[in-house]
Amino acid sequence: MQTGTTKTSNEQPRRARRRVTIADVANHLGVTKSTVSRALNGYTDISDSTRLRISRAAERLGYRPLSHAQAIRTGRVRSLGLVLQVDNEDSARPFLADFIAGVTQAASAENWTVTIATSETERGVQETLSRLVDEHKADGFILPRTRSRDKRVEALRAQNIPFIMFGRTEDPTGCSWYDIKGEDAMRAATARLASQGHKRIAHVPGGSEYTYSKLRIGGYRDGLAAAGLSIDPALITAPAITHDGGEAATRSLLMMAEPPTAITFAVDRAALGAYRVAQDLGLHIGSDFSVIAYDGIPEGAYANPALTTFAVNSRQAGDRLASLLIKRIRGAAPEELRELAPATLVERGSDGPPRLTPAELAQCLKDIQKREVQWEEPT
């Protein structure tokens, strides 16, 4: 006998049992869906007693509303968008895990989720972002590494979509942000070096398209001024954000007639390039010349001597960004959502009182160069 609709009861449960829906809860209690919905969403026109009955029943039946089912009416998917640019090499690398941990943690705390995407190019980021916007995959976006003029900002602002920046822009209209006071850090770095006795202090800035770069240069200048040192434009090199870039910048500085005895770097990674130069020339970082940088990447701790740097708390940054963005999505005015936090100095071995004056250092470097030429001659 075949019964088409009857299933033998002990078949393997291939389809997971049906979800419990709001209708299930309603039927179970003999009320309507609308009552359940309003009870669970805190409407005031539901009596406390029914609200209690309903929330208890919902709990007991294991009812969890589908956020995407809610979204279709409310327009909120309860998700934060994060589009990262992951370059060919390193860049954001070490920060990322902490940053993401911070973001997701804050999101989870509010029962939100994080939708993440990546691209290798700036254009790709743009496109991915607009895809996520078009499909409404997130209610708002976190924009890391903001540029002075940022296309993402312009696009989102034009469409009135909530966003928050990790960094600042030229035009703050309608913008919210969380940022680290890199300017303060650079001012402090310069001041510290000056107090150690350095008279010529250089600065290797970061990518000129980013706001932070200008801010940190400003901090460097302020630090010099505060210490009563003159500002020599030649002591500010071309931007450098990689090992190679930092190496080149360092070489160019040391080749000056009156080289600096200390260098501030806007970015740790560039500072690590200076180590190569030092090793190459047989100079000791921390005495022959000093280095202070910014970021707090792990490699800095392993360098020899370990890199003195201003560390940023990426985890906290992610956390704050997510929290602020959620507030923004819930309706807070963008102007009220602006936070700045300090970087924290990690004192290590790459800075100290200068062993030589700039002139002596120049002489020393000349000697080294001569020796190297001698080595090469016999060949």
Q: Which positions lie near DNA, rule CB under 7 A?
A: 18-19, 21-23, 30-38, 40-41, 45-51, 63-66, 69-70, 72-74
* Binding status of residue 84 toward its own copies by CB under 8 A: yes
* Binding status of residue 64 toward its own copies by CB under 8 A: yes
CA 23 – CA 310 distance, rounded (Å): 56
For residue 159, the partner it binds in its own copies, DNA, none, with Cβ less than 5 to 8 A by kind, is its own copies
* Binding status of residue 101 toward its own copies by CB under 8 A: yes
* Binding status of residue 132 toward its own copies by CB under 8 A: yes
Q: Which of 3, 6, 160, 374 binds its own copies (CB under 8 A)?
A: 160
For residue 46, the partner it binds in DNA, its own copies, none, with Cβ less than 5 to 8 A by kind, is DNA
For residue 45, the partner it binds in its own copies, DNA, none, with Cβ less than 5 to 8 A by kind, is DNA
Q: Which of 96, 332, 341, 346 binds its own copies (CB under 8 A)?
A: 96
CA 249 – CA 230 distance, rounded (Å): 21
Q: How far is the CB of 148 from its own copies (least distance, A)?
A: 25
For residue 74, the partner it binds in its own copies, DNA, none, with Cβ less than 5 to 8 A by kind, is DNA
For residue 90, the partner it binds in its own copies, DNA, none, with Cβ less than 5 to 8 A by kind, is its own copies
For residue 199, the partner it binds in DNA, its own copies, none, with Cβ less than 5 to 8 A by kind, is none
Nearer to its own copies, 128 or 148 (CB): 128
For residue 132, the partner it binds in its own copies, DNA, none, with Cβ less than 5 to 8 A by kind, is its own copies
Q: Which of 21, 67, 316, 357 binds its own copies (CB under 8 A)?
A: 67
Is 362 in contact with 258 (CB distance < 8 Å)? yes
* Binding status of residue 23 toward its own copies by CB under 8 A: no
Is 172 in contact with 336 (CB distance < 8 Å)? no
Give the sheet arrangement for strand 344-346, strand by strand: 201-204, 262-265, 290-295, 308-311, 344-346
Site string for its own copies, 254-293 (x = CB under 8 A): ----------------------------------------
Q: How far is the CB of 134 from DNA (least distance, A)?
A: 10
Binding site for its own copies (CB under 8 A): 13-16, 19, 62, 64-69, 71-72, 77, 79, 84, 86, 90, 92-94, 96-98, 100-101, 104-105, 107-108, 111, 113-120, 128, 131-132, 134-137, 159-161, 298-299, 302
